[in-house]
């Protein structure tokens, strides 16, 4: 709950007018390709149809999938199974899109809960099928994997084979699915609604305004040090007012995961994520170790930033202080032109697909009072199209965020030739296209901006890369610590905060002074709740993208067709197979070090430019 009620506070008018001025030219999305409204009867009809098909599927195939089944029977069953997944997915996607824009609206929350419940009911009817495939003999599964008739589903069957040790009986898995609505799903919903409803007081031009999360955090990019400090204090005050509930949610989700891991036979808390990402602990640890060994690069950079800003100390709220006094704001139309021009320089196909998002209203960019923070791209299904969600506040950082999400969108658009079971790819590969989009934008802007702004852009690129590689690595290690500590019982907010501070301090060393307020900033990060151990995929994807981008700069246009093929393949192949044309070995420490060296070259370039200005 918020620290005060907007409906009972005369500051409501101030925030409404403040946001109204800023939102005039920002787009809402058009979801009519999905449904006309949350009251559209087609939503219930689609769920009913999917449930009916699931019942027929169960009648036709339960008890009939075994080692004697031939490839034609398996192909027919998988195709029908895939069709049911497509039909049942659409209502849930629509409900989440509406909920994201106004997560306080009880009707949106009710629709989201209803679609989740119906989706689980449908999945319960067809759950037997994957388990039947898993219970095939290893010899039979390998035979099906190599059968040309099932070529389109080869990777799907390979994943089934890898899941064998981690699946339960049908009755046991049904219990877990049913309980999810009132355990993990309910806790995540509580977390989302708490933060969406929370408002933060901030003094602007002599008036107190109430800001949402994305707006208050935007002030951490202010050129005014006092504004940054006050914004950080306001944000801490806000999350502290709900910290008891946020701590409770964190504890319960960690325990919930521990219970699931025990029954699904995962040794470590992150093992299920590695399986989903089709990677190994050894590969991830190799990457993490390389990044940690280069924390000194972070410290070196912030020492440089301290000199540039002429500050005695850099505090946690100064990390994103702009290095240019420019207060330029970018209209949404400018952001569109900049991104499309950048994408065009890489590939006209990229620009064309990205333009569809603007022209066909597939983007929600307008901040709203009850809109959730952050940004994402919703893929939906190959038969439809993706949607992009963000909070646009007119800064160049927002342009980078938009380019990032459009990278995801272009990836999904290119992969629409795949069928639904191949229209999903591991997080480690998913971040590749988004980071690549950022790099294309960065190079494009470097050529267009004057020297002073170009230097500022370089520093922002470094900071963005640090946030993606080094910060996410520290966050991954924090998650490991958190789940390990939870084994000893429920944790206090102070205990979790100490774990957070330890890992952040390791990364920053003495280059950034961490205030006591910063200790609580773990509590608002959604990844720890919604998708445990997701965060290392950002570092993985960033370093992989830097390597691929270096190959693009070296090979030029001959690289483009290979890269587009990679994206078109979607989830048709494993990450290792997708990357085979690029001769990349993810298990090699030197590969990851190559990505870090590219980051180092950016820092060295910044230091040289700064030194040249002193002489």
CATH number at residue 127: 1.20.140.70
Residue at 234 is within a domain: no
pLDDT of res. 430: 87
Mean pLDDT in each 10-residue stretch from start to end of the chain (615 residues)? 29 32 71 97 97 97 96 97 96 97 93 94 95 95 96 96 93 90 91 92 90 91 94 97 97 96 96 94 96 97 94 95 75 96 96 98 92 91 96 90 96 97 89 90 87 84 93 98 96 98 97 97 95 93 91 91 96 93 91 94 93 71
pLDDT of res. 417: 95
Residue at 224 is within a domain: no
8 A C-beta contact, residue 19 and residue 391 = no
Residue at 29 is within a domain: yes
Each residue of 477-534: pLDDT tens digit? 999 999 999 999 999 999 999 999 999 999 999 999 999 999 999 999 999 999 999 9
Residue at 61 is within a domain: yes
Residue 81, domain extent: 18-182
Each residue of 34-74: pLDDT tens digit? 999 999 999 999 999 999 999 999 999 999 999 999 999 99
Q: How many domains in the chain?
A: 1
8 A C-beta contact, residue 300 and residue 288 = no
Length of the chain equals 615
pLDDT of res. 326: 57
pLDDT of res. 51: 97
Residue at 174 is within a domain: yes
pLDDT of res. 6: 27
Each residue of 90-135: pLDDT tens digit? 999 999 999 999 988 999 999 999 999 999 999 999 999 999 999 9
Q: Collapse the DSSP code of 208 into the 3-class scheme (helix H, G, I; strand E, B; otherwise coil) and give the result.
A: strand
Contacts of 432 (CB under 8 A, 6+ apart): 411, 541, 544, 545, 548, 566
Write down the pTM of the prediction: 0.82
pLDDT of res. 341: 97
Q: Collapse the DSSP code of 569 into the 3-class scheme (helix H, G, I; strand E, B; otherwise coil) and give the result.
A: coil
pLDDT of res. 325: 55
Among candidate residues 458, 436, 438, 437, the one with its CA nearest the CA of residue 447: 458
Residue at 57 is within a domain: yes
CB atoms within 10 A of CB 41: 9
pLDDT of res. 369: 82
pLDDT of res. 431: 83
Residue at 110 is within a domain: yes
Residue at 274 is within a domain: no
């Amino acid at each position: 709950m918020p620290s005060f009620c907007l409906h009972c506070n005369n500051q409501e008018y101030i925030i409404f007018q403040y946001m109204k001025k800023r939102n005039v030219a920002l787009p809402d999305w058009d979801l009519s390709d999905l449904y006309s409204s949350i009251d559209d009867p087609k939503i219930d009809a689609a769920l009913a149809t999917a449930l009916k098909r699931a019942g027929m599927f169960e009648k036709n195939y339960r008890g009939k999938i075994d080692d004697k089944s031939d490839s034609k029977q398996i192909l027919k069953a998988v195709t029908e199974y895939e069709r049911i997944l497509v039909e049942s997915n659409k209502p849930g996607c629509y409900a989440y899109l509406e909920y994201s824009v106004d997560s306080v609206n009880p009707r949106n929350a009710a629709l989201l809960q209803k679609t989740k419940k119906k989706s689980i009911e449908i999945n319960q009817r067809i759950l037997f099928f994957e388990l039947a495939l898993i219970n095939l003999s290893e010899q039979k599964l390998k035979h099906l994997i190599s059968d040309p008739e099932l070529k389109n589903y080869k990777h799907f069957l390979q994943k089934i084979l890898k899941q064998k040790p981690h699946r339960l009986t049908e009755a046991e898995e049904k219990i877990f699915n049913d309980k999810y609505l009132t355990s993990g799903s309910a806790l995540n919903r509580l977390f989302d609604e708490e933060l969406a409803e929370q408002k933060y007081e901030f003094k602007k031009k002599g008036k107190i305004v109430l800001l949402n999360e994305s707006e208050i955090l935007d002030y951490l990019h202010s050129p005014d040090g006092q504004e940054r400090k006050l914004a950080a204090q306001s944000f801490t005050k806000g999350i502290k007012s709900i910290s008891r509930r946020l701590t409770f949610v964190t504890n319960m989700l960690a325990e919930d995961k521990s219970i699931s891991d025990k029954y699904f036979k995962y040794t470590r808390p992150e093992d299920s994520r590695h399986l989903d990402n089709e990677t190994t602990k050894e590969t991830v640890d190799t990457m993490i170790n390389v990044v940690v060994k280069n924390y000194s690069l972070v410290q070196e950079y912030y020492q440089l930033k301290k000199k540039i800003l002429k500050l005695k100390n850099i505090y946690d709220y100064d990390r994103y202080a702009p290095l240019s006094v420019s207060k330029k704001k970018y209209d949404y139309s400018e952001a569109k032109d900049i991104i499309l021009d950048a994408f065009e320089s890489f590939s006209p196909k990229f620009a064309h697909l990205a333009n569809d998002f603007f022209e066909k209203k597939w983007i929600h960019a307008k901040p709203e009072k009850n809109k959730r923070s952050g940004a994402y791209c919703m893929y939906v299904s190959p038969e439809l199209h993706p949607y992009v969600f963000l909070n646009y506040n007119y800064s160049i950082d927002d342009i980078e965020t938009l380019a990032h999400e459009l990278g995801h969108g272009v990836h999904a658009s290119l992969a629409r030739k795949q069928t639904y079971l191949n229209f999903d790819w591991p997080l480690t590969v998913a971040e590749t296209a988004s980071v690549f989009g950022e790099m294309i934008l960065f190079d494009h802007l470097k050529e267009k901006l004057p020297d002073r702004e170009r230097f500022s852009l370089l520093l922002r690129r470094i900071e963005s890369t640090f946030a993606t590689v080094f910060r996410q690595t520290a966050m991954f290690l924090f998650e490991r610590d958190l789940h390990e500590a939870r084994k000893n019982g429920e944790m206090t907010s102070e205990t979790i905060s100490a774990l957070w501070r330890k890992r952040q301090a390791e990364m920053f060393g003495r280059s950034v002074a961490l205030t006591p307020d910063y200790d609580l900033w773990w509590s608002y990060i959604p990844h720890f709740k919604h998708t445990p151990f997701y965060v290392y995929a950002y570092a993985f994807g960033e370093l992989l993208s830097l390597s691929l981008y270096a190959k693009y700069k070296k090979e030029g246009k001959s690289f483009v067709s290979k890269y587009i093929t990679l994206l078109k393949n979607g989830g048709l192949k494993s990450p290792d197979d997708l990357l085979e044309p690029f001769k990349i070995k993810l298990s090699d420490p030197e590969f990851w070090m190559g990505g870090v060296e590219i980051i180092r070259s950016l820092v060295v370039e910044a230091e040289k430019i700064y030194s040249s200005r002193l002489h």
